A and B are shown apart, each in its own frame.
Chain A
C-alpha cells in the first residue's frame, strides 16, 4: 500500500449506502454541515464533503449519493464508483500537453455523463490528480463507512459485500433499527461483526453514537484490511481472475474487487462508467460474451453467490428481539395505502398543496408584518437623522426600499422550504411520484423526473442538477427543459406582492383566502406549462424514453427536525446572501439610474416633484420609451421596469418596485410596498394593478425564464449553448404572449 505517500492530503472517508438508509443524517451528525437529508431516492446529487477531526487528524468526509450497487448505471451512480474505485484516466492528466491533446481525459466518456464530469467536482478532482504523486491510488479512500438500513438489511448487505471485496478499512453502521424492532426483530451487531470481520455499530432506535463512530474511524484510518474473499463458483472465480489481469491501476489488491464490479457493470450499450478502468470494462465484456456463448450467465451467477452470502449473513444476524408495536405500524400502513389510492391519493395531494399555499399566506404574515414595520421604522429614523440629500435618498429609497422589500419574504421562503422539506422527508413525495408516474409518461417524461420536477418548486438549479439521477441523456434533457416552468421560490415574492395587492380586502372563497387561490392557479399554470413543454420537446427530440423506473418506496417516516432546520437555515442564508450582494448592487444601480440627472427647478424656483424627477431620470426616460411594450399587458412603465430588471433574478422585481415607488413617494409618508402598489394610479387615474393586469404580470412571471443561473446550469449540464438559448427565447415569447392574452381576456370579462 502506498497510502503513506499521500500524507500531504487529508485521508478521505467515504459514506456508502442505499438511498433512504439514513446515510446523510449520519453525515450531518459527524460533520455538523449544512448538507440536507431526505427520504427520497437519490437526492444527494453533488459531491458533499466536510472536514472531520479524528483524534487530532484532519480527514475529509464524503457523502456519496445513495445507491444499490457499485455497478453504475447513471451519471449519479458513477460518482460513487469514482469515489470508491477511484480509477481515473490520470495518465492523461499528468502527462505532457501533447499527450493529453491526443487523449483528453473526457474522451472515453459518453455524452450522458458529461454534465457530471464538467461540474466543479470533476474539475476539483482533476486538480487533485495533477497535484498528487501516487496517481490512481490518490483517490483510494482511507476508510469506508458502509451504512446498512436494518429494515432492508439484505439489500444493504449486498452493497456492503461488494464494497468489502475492495481492500479498504471498513466499518458498518446499521441504521433505522427502530423500524425492525417495531416488527419484533433486532440486528445482532456482534454476530455481524464476527461474520464480516469489521467493526459494526448499531443505531439505538434512530440515533447513532457519533463519538463511538469517530473512535472507530480514528483507529481505522491508519489500518489495513485485506479484501474479503468470496466462495465463488469456479466459473465466476476464473472470470474474475481473467478480468482482473486486464487492470492497469497500480494497486493490485484492488484489482479483484474492481473486476467483480466491472463484470456487474458491463453492458453492450454502455461505456465504462467514470472511475472505472476502461480496460477492465472491456475485458469484462469479452469474458461475459464468451461465457454466454457457452450458455453461462456470468453476472447472474455472481449476483446469486453474493445474495446467498447475504442470506446467510441475514439469517445469522437478524434475530427475534425488540418490542413489537403493531398499532403504530398498522396505522402507518393504512395511511400509506390511502395515499397511494387513486381517489384519496389525488384528493390528498390537492389538499396538501392548497394547505401549503394557504399556510404560506397566513402563517408567515405576522413575521412579515413585523419585518415591514421594522424596515419602515428604520426608514423613518434615517429620514429624521440624516440631512435630506443623496445619501439619505440612497439609503432610504434605494437600499432599504429595494433590499428591505426582498428581505420581507424571508419568512415565506423559510416556510416553503420547511414544508417542502418535511413533505420530502416523510416520504410523501415518493408516494406522489408513484401516483404521477403514469400521467407523466404521457408527456414524454420519465417517471423518475418527478423528483427533479418537484424540487423545482424550491429552486430550478438543484432541480436541474438532480436530473443526473436519470440514466439516459434524452430524459435528462427533457426534464431540464421542463423544470424552468415550475414555479420556484424566487417567484413567490412576486406572486405574494401582487396577489396581496389584488385580493387584500376580498373575502375568502370556500374558507381559503382568494390570494391563496390565485397562488394555486399560478402553480397549476406552471405545472401545466412544464408538462406541455416536455410534451412538445419529446415530440421534437429524436428517440424514445425507455429508461426503467425503479422506485424505492421507504416507509412513511417522521421528518427529523434537525435536518429540516439545517435545510431552512442554509436556504435562508443563500437567499439573504443574494439580497446582500446581487440585489443590493442592482438596487443601487437602479436608484442611480432613477435619480439622475436631476430635473431642473420649476419656473417658480421650487424643486420638481418626486414623480417628475423620476420621469426625468435616465432610467425613467428609458422605461417610458419602452412603455408601448407593456401596454398590451395592462401595466405602465414602472411595472415594466420591474419586469426588465427581473431578468437578472426574479426577486429583483420586488426590489425594483420598492425603489421606483419609494422614490416617487419620497415626498409623502411612504408606507409598505404593498400599500404603495394598491394606491398606485395610472396616468389616467385608474388603479395601476387591476385583477386583469395583476394576473397578467403573474402569468408572465410563471412562464418567463428570468434566471441567469438556470441558463448557466443548463448550459453546463446539456453541454451546449443551444439549449439555454432555445429555452430563454421560447419561454420569453410564450410568457409575453400569454400575459397579453390574460390581460385582454380578463379585461374583457371584468370590463376594466
Chain B
C-alpha cells in the first residue's frame, strides 16, 4: 500500500506553530543547563518521534530535570516520571520546555509520588 502523503498536513503545522509561540518563555530542551529543571510545553518534530516522546511521558505539563550530558554535550540524560531517559540533542531540540525559575537542589529526578 502506498502512503506517500505530504510530510505533514497544513493543519498540523499550524497547530505546532501555535503551540510553539504560545509561551515566549519556552525554550528547546537543549537550552536547559545540567542540573536545572523545567516543564514540558510542547513536543514538535517528525510524527514518529513526536508520538514516541509523548508515549515516553514527555507530555505538556510534565516536570523534567536535565541530569547530565555525555562527553561533548551529547546525548543528554533527563529525569522524568521517576525514570531516566537519554536522548540526543537533535531529539531534545524538538521538546519545548518552560524552565523552572526556582533552581533545583542538585541533579535529582522529579520524584514519583
Which residue numbers of A lie inside 8 Å of B, CB to CB? 68-69, 71, 73, 108, 151-155, 158, 180, 183, 185, 264, 267-272, 278, 281-282, 285, 289, 292-297, 299-300, 303-304, 307, 314-315, 318, 337, 340, 342, 345-346, 434-435, 437-439, 447, 548-555
The answer to whether A434 and B70 have CB atoms under 8 Å apart is yes
Q: Is the CB of A553 within 8 A of B55?
A: no
State in angstroms the CA–CA spacing of A304 and B4 once bound together. 28
Could you tell me the distance between the alpha carbons of A554 and B111 in the complex, rounded to whole angstroms? 15
Q: Which residues of A contact B72 (CB under 8 A)?
A: 342, 438-439
Say whether, besides A268-B6, A285-B3, A434-B75, A293 and B11 are in contact (CB < 8 Å). yes
With a CB–CB cut-off of 8 A, which chain B residues contact A289?
5, 9
Which residue of B9, B81, B111 is within 8 Å of A154 (Cβ)? Answer: B81
Give the residue name and chain of the B residue nearest to A159 (CB).
Answer: B55
Query: A151 to chain B: which residues have CB within 8 Å?
Result: 82-83
Q: Is the CB of B70 within 8 A of A292?
A: no
Asked whether, in the complex, the Cβ of B56 is within 8 Å of the Cβ of A68, the reply is: yes
Query: Are A153 and B112 touching (Cβ within 8 A)?
Result: yes
List chain A residues, Cβ under 8 A from B53: 550
| Minimal Cβ-Cβ distance residue in A for B42 | A300
Given contacts A278-B1, A292-B15, A437-B75, contact A300 B54 (CB under 8 A): yes
- Complex formed: what's the CA distance from A307 to B1 in Å? 32
Query: When chains A and B are docked, how far (Å) is the Cα of A434 from the Cα of B70?
Result: 6
Task: Tell me if B55 and A437 are in contact (CB < 8 A).
Answer: no
| Interface range on chain B (Cβ under 8 Å from partner) | 35 or more
- Verify A267–B83 contact, CB threshold 8 A: no
Shortest distance between the CB of B30 and any CB in chain A (Å): 14
CA distance A735 to B38 in the complex (A): 52
| CB <8 Å contact, B57 and A549 | no
**Min CB–CB distance B88 → chain A (angstroms):** 5
Smallest distance from the beta carbon of A81 to chain B beta carbons, Å? 14
B112 with A154: CB separation less than 8 A:
yes
Chain B residue with Cβ nearest A289: B9
A544 vs chain B, min Cβ distance (A): 12
Report the separation of the CA atoms of residues A314 and B62 in the bound assembly, to the nearest whole angstrom. Answer: 15
Bound-state Cα–Cα, A397 to B55, Å: 62
Of B3, B57, B71, B91, which is within 8 A of A268 by CB? B3
On whether the beta carbons of A438 and B75 are closer than 8 Å, the reply is: yes
Q: A71-B55, A281-B1, A434-B75 are in contact. List 9 more A-B contacts (CB 8 A).
A: A269-B3, A297-B12, A303-B51, A304-B60, A346-B71, A435-B70, A438-B70, A447-B88, A550-B52
* A548-B49 in contact (CB<8A): yes
A271 vs B3: C-alpha distance when bound (angstroms): 7
Find A282's partner among B3, B11, B71, B107 (CB 8 Å cutoff).
Answer: B3
A551 and B59 contacting across the interface, CB-CB below 8 Å: no
Whether B85 lies near A551 (C-beta < 8 A) is yes
Kindly list chain B residues whose C-beta atoms are within 8 Å of the C-beta of A180: 112
